[in-house]
Amino acid sequence: MENNKVVKVHYHGYFADTKEVFDSSLSEGREPLTFLVGHGQMIPGFEAEVLGAEVGEKRTFTLEPERAYGHRDENQFADLPFADFPEGIEVGMNFQAEMSGRPIMFTITGIDEEAGNVTCDANHPMAGKTLTFDVEIVSVRDASEEEIAHKHVHGDGGHHH
């Protein structure tokens, strides 16, 4: 498989240290994951590890943080005004905000009502984690010119316009 191919894979992802499953397309009712190779739709290591694979091939690989979601960045924490949040917020809740016109996801890691602050972490929840994947290549096809131009898959498990 190579760039500009549409790939369908079944995968089972788990944390390398604890073996705890964080995501799996093998869960009941789930379809294989479909993506366009070479267009940044997947974490870098995942795509690199499936390059060259053939339909029916199974691979297991482990990705260190720099090849997955990166290392945790302590500069990704911020204290925001408590008044900016809805009632009933709790530590661990996820929110989305817009910054410079782009959506940013963050997790509440602390609440100090007296000081009027909510501490938020904008690191990806899996930043700093080493991930292992069991992957089976289900199908590979050439991407259409439109898919390549739009940088995503159309139809059959992908994006529909």
pLDDT tens, residue by residue, 90-111? 999 999 888 788 888 899 999 9
What would be the CATH architecture of the domain defined by 74-121? Beta Barrel (2.40)
Confidence (pLDDT) at 5: 85
Question: From its phi and psi, is residue 105 left (phi > 0), alpha (psi between -120 and 50) or beta?
Answer: beta
Judge whether 20 and 14 are in contact, CB under 8 Å: yes
Residue 85 per-residue DSSP state: S
Cα angle value 146/151/153 (rounded, 5°): 70
Q: Domain extents for the chain? A: 5-69+126-150, 74-121
What 3-state DSSP class applies to 121?
Answer: strand
Q: How far apart are CA 5 and CA 71, in angstroms?
A: 29
Residue ranges of the chain with per-residue pLDDT less than 50: 157, 159-161
pTM above 0.85, yes or no: no
Q: What fold, for 5-69+126-150? A: Chitinase A; domain 3 (3.10.50)
